[in-house]
Chain A
Amino acid sequence: MSPKTLYDKIWDAHLAHQAEDGTCLLYIDRHLVHEVTSPQAFEGLRMAGRKVHAPDKTIAVPDHNVPTTPGREDPANMTEDSAIQVAALDRNARDFGIHYYPVSDIRQGIVHIVGPEQGWTLPGMTVVCGDSHTATHGAFGALAHGIGTSEVEHVLATQTLIQRKAKNMKVEITGRLAPGVTAKDITLAVIGRTGTAGGTGHVIEYCGEAIRDLSMEGRMTVCNMAIEGGARAGLIAPDEKTFEYVKGRPHAPKGAQWEAALAWWKTLYTDDGAHFDKVVTIAAEDIEPVVTWGTSPEDVLPISARVPGPGDFTGGKVEAAKRSLEYMGLEPGTPLTDIKVDTVFIGSCTNGRIEDLRAVAEVVKGRKIAEGMRAMIVPGSGLVREQAEVEGLAEIFTEAGFEWRLAGCSMCLAMNPDQLAPGERCASTSNRNFEGRQGRGGRTHLMSPAMAAAAAITGRLTDVRELM
């Protein structure tokens, strides 16, 4: 048998049907659902008189719209259209008999944080969700990717997706990260190198010593942004850390089933000599703490750099850089550390896990945020929030001057009331710096939680290593 990649193995294990022209039906083990991309899909089922094919494999949670302030269980505290979407998910979950974590449940949170936390996400699975950051679950060695609403309806009705196999891409991070450099810096540095279309048509497998050294939280951060690199999915082969994380979670297998699962999971790695269509290698030692300066996630630079000018680019990127600089209100040549910020957002499916909050606490402990700074920390789930309170992190945050919020997507995409006003500038741990992403006219700089914490303290983009 010819050697296979991890992606090949998971793909082969889920191929339900292959037509003569190569079109495949891929079986889906877990379907995660949220309130924004699902109402039209459930409506489609109703109109066709169809049921959910596998309600036990379908898990729903409201996250995009929900306010992160107290009293949010009361629909009167949501905008009318948000309340309608959340109410529609309530009703669809009930009517179709799928698993559901309502806003009032402590397990509620961002769908990509809830899935792993509850043990729904397991190695070797196929996981989809009507959300591009489904790539997050790849950290477990699960083939996980975002789908549109028509595909959501297709999975609800058939538990399969019509697919063609993607190509294999390997991203290897050799060596060890320096202190102050994190998983977020890895994933941004990769996108900075390959561009936002670098992974188009591919599934990325991340490997190398620096990836193996990451915690599960860090691995989720890396895979989460595979989509910003254009890839359909990101994958990391499961290992002892993965099994340790999964073991004992509410929906993880137990007893004899655990042993059987473990035996299969241990076969989930890329065979020696397997073919990759594209290979990128980066030395961990070459990665510094990074930030974005522009309006595409590929606009990445080390914090020690200066704002580039259009002349630093070629092709379509020249005009794109001009537009970005104007939108961002930046002059070429400005040291990145001279850029002042007025808002700090810490949270999102990229960086809303407990390890992220610990990293923030380490920087801000005993310090105060800069005067006039609006700084909020939005935990990724109710359980992350609870954990942070038990560990005393919440107290550190509030003493430093941060707002300590309830779980949700919040200012990552600003569909709830947490938004930037025009011209406001935010140091953000989220995943997209697109124009208007965090609010019309708002300016976003992406970075790690530790870097965002440092910016909150100094009031400008800052190399966190100066505060360590």
Chain B
Amino acid sequence: MDKFEKLTGVAAPMPMINVDTDMIIPKQFLKTIKRSGLGKNLFDEMRFDDEGRERPDFVLNRPQYRNAEILVTGDNFGCGSSREHAPWALLDFGIRCIVAPGFADIFFNNCFKNGILPVVLPQAQVDMLMKDAEKGANARMTVDLDAQTITTSDGEVIGFEVDAFKKHCLLEGLDDIGLTLEKAAAIESFEARAAAERPWV
């Protein structure tokens, strides 16, 4: 997994609530056995018409946002299915940070496993960042994970909270499985205890 330390980039405004994972990556693109290559179908049904032509008014098709690395969006982003194809598609497109008033649980977790930083902020601060993002390509924000701050194009600084363990893993680009296997002894002793207490499992 790529590290996430500090990112300065264009933020795309997507002021919709309940953006679901079927919108982020429709099911016809889940029939892959790879993690890569999903960016071209990110938001497919919103981004392209029935003939596969770009819809010019969709935010990521507008010239100023084609290289966006940050997404500012509405509450409950990523609701719906557990498909990790959703963060894979966002990452493959180039999105490394998503700011919203709230995220669906599974999507939120999936982001951290893929080097994407989801930031939860109160609605008023998201609204402010949304306005900043609406300025277009000149509105570049800086997301600093170590300092836990977002700096707007006007230099305004907003702090955010992040789970300490998840932050550590993102900053270092750590592999969860490797970390857990360091605790193999604890897992084995749990298994021995559970086998005695609940042998039917």
Answer yes or no: are A and B bound together in one complex: yes
Q: Could you tell me which A residues sit within 8 Å of B by CB distance?
A: 13, 15-17, 19, 21, 23, 25, 27, 29, 36-37, 39-40, 43, 48, 50, 57, 64-65, 79, 81-82, 84-85, 88, 122, 124-125, 130-132, 145-151, 153-154, 157-160, 162, 164, 196-197, 200-201, 230, 232, 253, 257-258, 260-261, 264, 296, 298, 315-317, 319-320, 323, 413-415, 422, 432, 434-437, 440-441
Q: Is the CB of B16 within 8 A of A316?
A: yes
Please name the residue on chain B nearest to A27 by beta carbon.
Answer: B190
B124 at the interface (CB under 8 A from A): no
Shortest distance from the beta carbon of B183 to any chain A beta carbon, whole Å: 5
Q: Could you tell me which B residues sit within 8 Å of A by CB distance?
A: 15-18, 20, 22-23, 26-28, 30-35, 45, 50, 74-76, 79-84, 87, 102-106, 109-110, 113-114, 163-165, 176-177, 180-181, 183-184, 186-187, 190-191, 194, 198-201
Q: Which residues of A contact B190 (CB under 8 A)?
A: 15-17, 27
Which 9 A-B residue pairings sit nearest by Cβ, starting from the closest?
A: A253-B200, A150-B113, A316-B17, A39-B33, A81-B31, A148-B84, A148-B110, A16-B190, A146-B82
From DSSP, what is the main secondary structure of chain B's interface residues? loop
Q: A130-B82, A162-B176 are in contact. Are A432 and B163 (CB under 8 A)?
A: no
Bound complex: CA A39 to CA B31 (Å)? 10
From A29, A230, A315, A440, B50 is in contact (CB under 8 Å) with A440
Q: Is the CB of B105 within 8 A of A230?
A: yes
Please name the residue on chain B nearest to A150 by beta carbon.
Answer: B113
Q: A158-B181, A436-B26 are in contact. Are A37 and B31 (CB under 8 A)?
A: no
Bound complex: CA A200 to CA B77 (Å)? 11
Q: Which residues of A contact B50 (CB under 8 A)?
A: 422, 440-441
Q: Is the CB of B76 within 8 A of A320?
A: no
Shortest distance from the beta carbon of A96 to any chain B beta carbon, whole Å: 15
Shortest distance from the beta carbon of B24 to any chain A beta carbon, whole Å: 10
Q: Is the CB of A19 within 8 A of B106?
A: no
Q: Which residues of A contact B186 (CB under 8 A)?
A: 16-17, 25
Bound complex: CA A437 to CA B191 (Å)? 41
Q: Is the CB of A436 within 8 A of B22?
A: yes
Q: Which residues of B contact A197 (CB under 8 A)?
A: 18, 75-76, 79, 102, 104
Q: Which residues of A contact B31 (CB under 8 A)?
A: 36, 65, 79, 81-82, 84-85, 415
